[in-house]
Amino acid sequence: MVTSYYAAKRSWHPGELAIQRRLGYDEAMAGIWAAVDPFMPEQHQIFHATRLHFLPLAVLDDRGRPWTGIACGPDGQRGFVHVRNESSVRIDALTWPGDPLHEFQLDPGALVAGLGIEVSTRRRNKFAGHIMSSLRRDGGLLLDLNVDQALGNCPKYINVRNIAPPARTSAPTVEVLRRASPLSPAAIDLVHAADTFFLATTFASSDGTSHLGQNHRGGLPGFVRVLHGSTVVVPDFSGNRFMQSLGNIEASSLAGLAVPDFVTGDVLYLTGSARTLVGETAQKIMPRQSVVTLIDVQEWTLVRDALPVRQVPGTAVERSPYSPPVKYLAEDIVQKGEVSLSGVKLLLSSIDLHSEHDATFTFHVESSGKEKVDVRPGQAAIVDLSSLFGRNAYRHMAQTGAEKTLNDDGIRTWTISRFEPSSATDTSALLSLTIREKVDGSMTPKLLGLARRLASVRPELLTDTRPLDIRLDLVGVVGSFVLPEIVGKDGILSTGRPSRRLLWLAGGIGITPFLAMLRAIVSGSGNTDQPWDILLVVADKDVNIPLTLVSSVMATLPTSTLSSESALLRLRVYALSSQSPVTSTPALPPSVEIHQREGRLRETFFTDEGLRGDMSARSVFLCGGPGFERTAMNALAAVGIGAGDVRREGFNY
């Protein structure tokens, strides 16, 4: 327990206790309320007075709803906050039409809360209190505040930006003033682009402990989602567990947001009714997110060119290393072609180790209920590995370099390199993931480590790992990097006569979607009299690995189609190896040509290889890391294939 003889609080309030209990933090947090000071420590006083370019302030409207207003110095400079003593602050601010500080009656005695935040250094300190007096003059506001709560906060999700007053701005323009829900498309776009917002909350009590809260939330751009145009969905990321903002929401069911765009200076303000969902109800709205706050927008305001400080042109944002990947709403996910699954297990059945760092893991798909797993060739599996490798215990902060592990849910995505649906004779489907170890990653070193250990101590188990009883959860299937017009579900060929001329470009482990597509084509090629003509360019440090994978797919080709004269599939492979020479050409049918090259893909590749004339009417698919993708796009452009004609998958989040 933190000891303080001068604590601002005597206990957590009922809302804070309720949310701490719902999340199971109440015992750990008992007594920690004493960390909230009843005055501004000297360090905070200096910080507010000298470091702030802007100051988000929580205030109430005439209906008692919280809004965040933003106070800035008249010229966007620091020094507009004057701290007279530990309890007394004067703010000499510029305000602009539309901002709650400009629009609302700020009477003496009204509640107020502030968040001093310096985005260039990730420092932030909160305070709360009352308005002593307010005076409007020349488009500005002189606000005297009494502070009776103060708390220093962690830098955890603050994205670092270099901000300064811009050289020139237009006058702020109010695009929308206190309009009822829904949000406009422009307002929704602003939310979906934001990596930062400010959250105002309120707690009302008859025992004299009423107060407002002003805080910050940050993440990757798009971490806040808008549902049906009228509900803002905020994922809760693991923090200090005080749960002051969510506690206020628990008690009041109200919240107000200001969402700034630091480049344009636009600010979206909104207020509404709010509630926090935990567990399954949260996951139904935002899959794989166990705590979300929903704010049903009641009123909103959009002001263009509002902020007198902006991100300095030409400077980049340094993202918080703690921010987890963006999670999307269930409804967005369906649109992105993702299918969420529950109760589907993957039983590890065999491991094929291709090299020290590459292996194919094959699983039997076990579906407990009505969930049927459908996979289109090229799609990826979303797998929860926490049952195998465990979940991280709670830690508030981590050492440099280990920050991302704090929010790691153990969920990873890999292309399904092979999928064999269940059949009448074989009741469970088979699914393979071909995984390359990411040496600085957290999950792939463990998976490949498992494969290597087995290979050295129990190699006989590699061909049948079922006795190990390793089960993972298949939580979704995702991806639109498929052959939609050619191959249907479960690899069944469509009956139309689309182009069967394909160009596939694979960088490194980017070969995996093509393995699935090739398998579908190979297994279906006997059903059509129209031959396939596939040009595969694959580049890897050691190209023997993708070549072996391709040859194992080709080995499944029906023998009747193996001879070159009657070939229904013509496959030409250009294999580029940048570090290891091609050691042996794997056994391949005669209709497969292999052209081995040393070195990386070059932008002149197609011309150098005399392939320029062979590019026409090919559907082009590209999968590889950023460097490979860049070169491949330039190589394609050099033979007249533009970005709009290339389907791409980068294995990015």
Ligand X SMILES: Cc1cc2nc3c(=O)[nH]c(=O)nc-3n(C[C@H](O)[C@H](O)[C@H](O)COP(=O)(O)OP(=O)(O)OC[C@H]3O[C@@H](n4cnc5c(N)ncnc54)[C@H](O)[C@@H]3O)c2cc1C
For residue 281, the tally of other CB atoms under 10 A from its CB is 13
Please pick, from the candidates 292, 435, 474, 503, the single residue that binds ligand X as defined by CB under 6 A: 435
**Minimum gap (Å) between residue 216 Cβ and ligand X:** 22
* Crossing angle between the packed helical segments 14-23 and 244-252, to the nearest 10 degrees: 110
Three-class SS of 580-646: ECCCCCCCCCCCEEEEEEECCCCCCHHHHCCCHHHCCCCEEEEECCHHHHHHHHHHHHHCCCCHHHE
Q: Compute, in degrees rounded to 10, the torsion defined by CA atoms 177, 180, 186, 190.
A: 90
Q: How far is the CB of 182 from ligand X (least distance, A)?
A: 29
Measure the CA–CA gap between 424 and 445, rounded to whole angstroms.
37
311 contacts ligand X (rule: CB under 6 A): no
Span near ligand X by CB under 6 A; candidates 279-287, 430-438, 531-539, 628-636: 430-438
The bridge status of strand 569-580 relative to strand 592-598 is: parallel
Return the range that interacts with ligand X (CB under 6 A); candidates 93-101, 436-444, 560-568, 580-588.
Answer: 436-444
| Residue closer to ligand X, measured from CB, 439 or 457 | 439
545 binds ligand X (CB under 6 A): no
Letters for 320-349 (x = contact with ligand X by CB under 6 A, - = none) are: -----x------------------------
279: left (phi over 0), alpha (psi -120 to 50) or beta: left
- Using CB under 6 A, which residues numbered 375 to 394 contact ligand X? 380, 382
Q: Which of 201, 413, 577, 631 binds ligand X (CB under 6 A)?
A: 413
Residue 411 engages ligand X in binding (rule: CB under 6 A): yes
CB of residue 503 to ligand X, shortest distance in Å:
20
Binding part of the chain for ligand X, among 216-224, 431-439, 451-459, 543-551 by CB under 6 A, reads 431-439
Tell me the residue type at 25: Y
Q: Considering only residues 118, 195, 338, 408, which one is a binding residue for ligand X as defined by CB under 6 A?
A: 408
Q: Are strands 88-94 and 140-153 parallel, antiparallel or unpaired?
A: antiparallel
SS (H, E, C) 405-456: HHHCCCEEEEEEEEEECCCCCCCCCEEEEEEECCCCCCCHHHHHHHHHHHHH
Q: Which is nearer to ligand X, 202 or 413 (CB)?
A: 413
Using the rule CB under 6 A, is 479 a contact of ligand X?
yes
Q: Please tell me whether residue 432 binds ligand X under the rule CB under 6 A.
A: no
Q: How many residues bind to ligand X according to rule CB under 6 A?
A: 23
CB of 441 to ligand X, least distance (A): 2
Q: In whole angstroms, how far apart are CA 261 and each of 268, 298, 439?
A: 9, 21, 36
**400/584 with CB nearer ligand X:** 400
> What angle do the packed helices 544-554 and 512-524 form, to 10 degrees?
20
- Interface with ligand X by CB under 6 A: which range of 99-107, 203-211, 404-412, 418-426? 404-412
Q: Per rule CB under 6 A, is residue 653 in the interface with ligand X?
A: yes
8 Å CB contact between 147 and 36:
no
| Span near ligand X by CB under 6 A; candidates 55-63, 306-314, 344-352, 408-416 | 408-416
Asked if 441 touches ligand X (CB under 6 A), the answer is yes
Cα atoms in the 13 Å half-sphere on the side-chain side of 618: 24
Q: Is 127 in the site for ligand X (CB under 6 A)?
A: no
414 in contact with ligand X (CB under 6 A): yes
> Greatest CA separation found in the chain?
92
Q: Which is nearer to ligand X, 59 or 224 (CB)?
A: 224
Nearer Cβ to ligand X (75/356): 356
DSSP letters for 448-501: HHHHHHHHHH-GGGGG--GGG--EEEEEEEE---S-TTTB-GGGPBPSS----E
The interface with ligand X within residues 589-628 (CB under 6 A) comprises none
The yes or no reply on residue 512 touching ligand X (CB under 6 A) is: yes
37, 8 Cβ separation under 8 angstroms? yes
What's the Cα-to-Cα distance from 367 to each of 59, 427, 476, 510, rounded to whole Å?
52, 10, 13, 28
Q: Which is nearer to ligand X, 259 or 435 (CB)?
A: 435
Stretch that binds ligand X, among 130-138, 442-450, 519-527, 635-643 (CB under 6 A): 442-450
Report which of 601, 416, 417, 595 is spatially closest to residue 507, judged by C-alpha positions. Answer: 601
Q: Measuring CA to CA, which residue among 179, 214, 178, 172 is closest to residue 197?
A: 214
- Which range in 77-85, 186-194, 363-371, 429-437 contacts ligand X by CB under 6 A? 429-437
Per CB under 6 A, does 651 bind ligand X?
A: yes
Burial class, 138, CB count within 10 angstroms (exposed 0-12 / middle 13-18 / buried 19+): exposed
Which residue minimizes CB distance to ligand X? 441
CB 327 within 8 A of CB 288: yes
The stretch among 193-201, 246-254, 410-418, 633-641 that binds ligand X (CB under 6 A) is: 410-418
Considering only residues 134, 434, 523, 577, which one is a binding residue for ligand X as defined by CB under 6 A?
434
Question: Which helix (DSSP H) or strand (DSSP E) does residue 551 occupy?
Answer: helix 544-554
Q: Does 354 contact ligand X by CB under 6 A?
A: no
Backbone φ, ψ for residue 215 (5° rounding): -140, 180
The residue written with tokens 């040496």 in the block is: 439
Among 95, 293, 349, 444, binds ligand X (CB under 6 A): 444
Residue closer to ligand X, measured from CB, 268 or 385: 385
Binding residue for ligand X (CB under 6 A) from 65, 161, 304, 412? 412
Dihedral sign (CA 213, 219, 222, 226): negative
CB of 352 vs ligand X, minimal distance in Å: 14
Residues that bind ligand X (CB under 6 A): 325, 380, 382, 404, 408, 411-415, 434-436, 438, 441-444, 479, 509, 512, 651, 653
